[in-house]
Homo-oligomer: A and B are copies of this chain.
Amino acid sequence: MTRIAESTVRRLSHYYRVLEEVEAEGGRLISSHRLAQREGITSAQVRKDLSYFGSFGRRGLGYNVVHLRHEIRWILGLDRRWRVALVGAGNIGTALLSYRGFAQQGFEVTAVFDRDPSRVGQRVGDLVVQDVSRLAAVAAEQAFDMGVIATTLASAQQVADALVAAGVRGILNFAPRKLFVPAHVALRTVDMAVELESLSFALSQARGPRRRVPGRGGSGGGR
């Protein structure tokens, strides 16, 4: 398959969701115009994106909804299950386990790890938290496809290294830190804390300055 740009993959996610909607409403055909809707994408871009995967549409008629949804589902790898190791059984980790969309998209958490002795042995959902030192041993049994990092900032890189050593091919990172992984491992980051803080920053601007800024350039010079 041709190398597909990340931006194309993200648009495919969008098309997939529109197709799900239209299929649920009973629609059978969809135009490139409708697929482009609301995303600031042109119809021409839609047709170009879909042309990578063969010719799904018929000029003037549009695309077959069920067929195109199945094709994109396959392209995005949503037709299979991925075995996932979750590292970090704190706030985000337990919220993720309760997020059914995660499993619905094929990401099946088959083991949970934490380094905190007070969490190890606890039950979360259907799983029992294991000590993170057992990661390699459990990976040898379960052959994880990917790992989810929901640990503190401080241990995130160490956990990423352990997951890579355990053979995962993808990492979903919820720790607000840039991680380094080898080129053969896919890394995606969901940075909820940064979005929240960016929002509270924006909302705070209305209240005006706390005090007068006591001059510029103390330790770093002006702008």
**Cβ contacts under 8 Å, A40 to chain B:** 178
- Please tell me which one of the listed residues B32, B105, B209 contacts residue A220 in the complex, with CB atoms under 8 A apart: B32
Asked whether, in the complex, the Cβ of A209 is within 8 Å of the Cβ of B1, the reply is yes
**Cβ contacts under 8 Å, A105 to chain B:** 193, 196-197, 200
Asked whether, in the complex, the Cβ of A169 is within 8 Å of the Cβ of B203, the reply is yes
A39-B178, A98-B98, A170-B202 known; 12 new pairs, CB 8 Å cut-off, are A38-B177, A51-B219, A55-B215, A74-B210, A76-B197, A77-B203, A94-B98, A95-B99, A102-B196, A105-B196, A186-B199, A190-B192
CA–CA, A95 and B99, complex, Å? 5
**Cβ contacts under 8 Å, A138 to chain B:** none
CA–CA, A40 and B180, complex, Å? 11
Tell me whether A158 is interfacial, beta carbon within 8 Å.
no
Copies in the complex: 2
Q: Which chain B residue has the least Cβ–Cβ distance from A75? A: B201
Tell me whether A136 is interfacial, beta carbon within 8 Å.
no
Given contacts A1-B209, A32-B220, A213-B54, whether A197 and B146 have CB atoms under 8 Å apart is no
**Cβ contacts under 8 Å, A96 to chain B:** 95
Asked whether, in the complex, the Cβ of B198 is within 8 Å of the Cβ of A9, the reply is yes
How far does the Cβ of A24 sit from chain B's closest Cβ, in whole Å?
Answer: 9
Q: Which residues of A contact B (CB under 8 A)?
A: 1, 4, 6, 9-10, 12-14, 16-18, 21, 32, 38-40, 44, 46-48, 50-59, 63, 74-78, 80, 82, 91-92, 94-96, 98-102, 104-107, 145-146, 152-154, 157, 169-170, 172, 176-178, 186, 188-190, 192-206, 208-210, 213-223
Q: Which chain B residue has the least Cβ–Cβ distance from A62? A: B219
**Cβ contacts under 8 Å, A196 to chain B:** 102, 105, 107, 172, 188
Asked whether, in the complex, the Cβ of B13 is within 8 Å of the Cβ of A198, the reply is yes
How far does the Cβ of A63 sit from chain B's closest Cβ, in whole Å?
Answer: 7
CA–CA, A186 and B201, complex, Å? 10
**29 examples of A-B residue contacts, CB within 8 angstroms:** A9-B198, A9-B201, A10-B198, A13-B194, A13-B198, A14-B177, A14-B194, A17-B176, A21-B153, A32-B219, A39-B177, A47-B219, A50-B220, A51-B218, A51-B222, A51-B223, A54-B216, A55-B219, A56-B219, A57-B220, A59-B219, A77-B197, A77-B200, A82-B203, A91-B99, A91-B100, A95-B95, A190-B190, A190-B192
